[in-house]
C-alpha cells in the first residue's frame, strides 16, 4: 500500500536535483525502470531507496522499495514525464578501478547529453575510467544519468585538474584536434589517454602542449563538424579495432 510522502521527504529528494546538495549528501537520483535494473544488476549496494508507483515490478528483495503515489512521484522527479520509478543512490566513488588500458580524459564537456553518451560509449568499448576536468558537467546530473542508459554503473568517473594529471601520466596522450594525424593512418597504441575537448572551443590552450599524439578524423565530404560524443565514438572504435 502506498502512503503519501511527507513534505520533508519530498523536499529532501528535490534537493538532489541540485549539484550542491548531491555533493553534500553524496546521493543522486536515477529514474526509469531500465536504469534502476542496471543499478540492481551491477551495483545493488549503491541503492539507498527505490520509490515506485508499481513496486510489484521489482523482484529483487535486497533493495528497499517504497510504494508511492503518482502525484508524489511528479513532485520528486526531475523529468517532465516521470517514468514510474525513481531511486536514490549513493555516489559511486569507491568502486574499484579495473585495469583500463585506454582512459578517456574530458576537458570542459558542457552538454549533459554528450557526457552521458560518452559514458555509454566507454561502457560499450570497455574503457573503465573517465577522468574529467573540474568544470566538466557533473556526472550525477539527472540528464547525464539518463543519457548513460545505465552505463554510469560500469564506468569509473573522477574529477580532477587535468594539467597535473596529464603531466604526471606516463601514457601517450591522444588529443582530438582539427589538425592532427589521420586516425586511419596512425599507429594507435592500446594504452593511453584519449583527450577530448569542449564542444565549442576544443582542448584548452594549457593542455595542448601535453598532447603527445594529435589525431584527427578526416573529413570525406562537405560536413562542417562532428559532435564531440560522435567523435569519441569513432575514435574509440578505431582504438578498439586493432
Among 66, 79, 149, 177, the residue binding a second copy under the rule CB under 8 A is: 149
User: Min. distance of Cβ 223 from a second copy in angstroms?
Assistant: 3
Position 54 contacts a second copy (CB under 8 A): no
Residue 126 interacts with a second copy (CB under 8 A): yes or no? yes
Would you give the binding string for a second copy spanning residues 163-182, x where CB under 8 A is met? --------------------
User: 197: exposed, middle or buried (C-beta count within 10 Å: 0-12, 13-18, 19+)?
Assistant: buried
Among 38, 85, 107, 129, which residue sits at the site for a second copy (rule: CB under 8 A)? 38
User: Per CB under 8 A, does 222 bind a second copy?
Assistant: yes
Shortest CB 158 distance to a second copy, Å? 18
How far is residue 207's CA from residue 214's CA, in Å, rounded to a whole number? 12
Check residue 123 for interaction with a second copy (CB under 8 A): yes
* Cell triple for 191: 594504452
| Beta carbons within 10 angstroms of residue 11's beta carbon | 12
Which residue, 53 or 123, has its beta carbon nearer to a second copy? 123
Q: Which is nearer to a second copy, 107 or 128 (CB)?
A: 128
Q: Which stretch binds a second copy (CB under 8 A): 20-28, 55-63, 84-92, 216-224?
A: 216-224
Cα distances (Å, whole numbers) of residue 235 to 2, 9, 14, 91, 206? 48, 44, 38, 29, 23
Pairing outcome for strands 47-52 and 85-90: antiparallel
| Of the candidate residues 7, 62, 81, 241, the single one contacting a second copy (CB under 8 A) | 241
Q: Which residues bind a second copy (CB under 8 A)?
A: 38, 42, 117, 120-128, 149-151, 154, 184, 217-227, 229-230, 233-234, 237-238, 240-241
Amino acid at each position: 500500500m502506498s502512503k503519501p510522502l511527507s513534505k520533508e521527504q519530498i523536499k529532501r529528494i528535490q534537493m538532489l536535483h541540485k549539484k550542491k546538495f548531491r555533493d553534500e549528501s553524496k546521493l543522486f537520483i536515477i529514474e526509469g525502470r531500465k536504469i534502476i535494473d542496471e543499478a540492481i544488476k551491477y551495483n545493488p549496494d549503491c541503492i539507498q531507496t527505490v520509490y515506485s508507483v508499481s513496486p510489484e515490478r521489482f523482484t529483487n528483495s535486497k533493495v528497499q522499495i517504497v510504494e508511492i503515489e503518482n502525484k508524489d512521484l511528479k513532485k520528486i522527479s526531475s523529468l517532465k514525464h516521470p517514468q514510474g520509478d525513481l531511486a536514490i543512490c549513493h555516489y559511486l566513488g569507491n568502486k574499484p578501478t579495473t585495469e583500463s588500458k585506454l582512459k578517456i580524459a574530458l576537458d570542459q564537456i558542457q552538454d549533459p547529453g554528450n557526457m552521458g553518451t560518452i559514458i555509454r560509449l566507454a561502457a560499450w568499448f570497455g574503457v573503465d575510467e573517465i577522468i574529467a576536468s573540474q568544470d566538466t558537467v557533473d556526472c550525477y546530473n539527472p540528464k547525464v544519468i539518463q543519457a548513460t542508459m545505465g552505463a554510469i554503473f560500469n564506468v569509473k568517473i573522477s574529477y580532477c585538474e587535468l594539467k597535473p594529471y596529464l603531466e604526471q601520466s606516463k601514457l601517450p596522450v591522444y588529443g582530438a584536434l582539427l589538425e592532427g594525424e589521420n586516425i586511419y593512418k596512425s599507429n594507435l597504441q592500446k594504452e593511453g589517454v584519449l583527450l577530448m575537448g569542449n564542444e565549442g572551443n576544443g582542448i584548452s590552450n594549457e593542455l595542448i602542449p601535453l598532447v603527445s599524439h594529435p589525431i584527427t578524423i578526416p573529413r570525406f565530404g562537405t560536413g562542417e563538424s562532428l559532435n564531440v560524443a560522435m567523435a569519441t565514438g569513432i575514435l574509440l572504435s578505431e582504438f578498439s579495432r586493432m
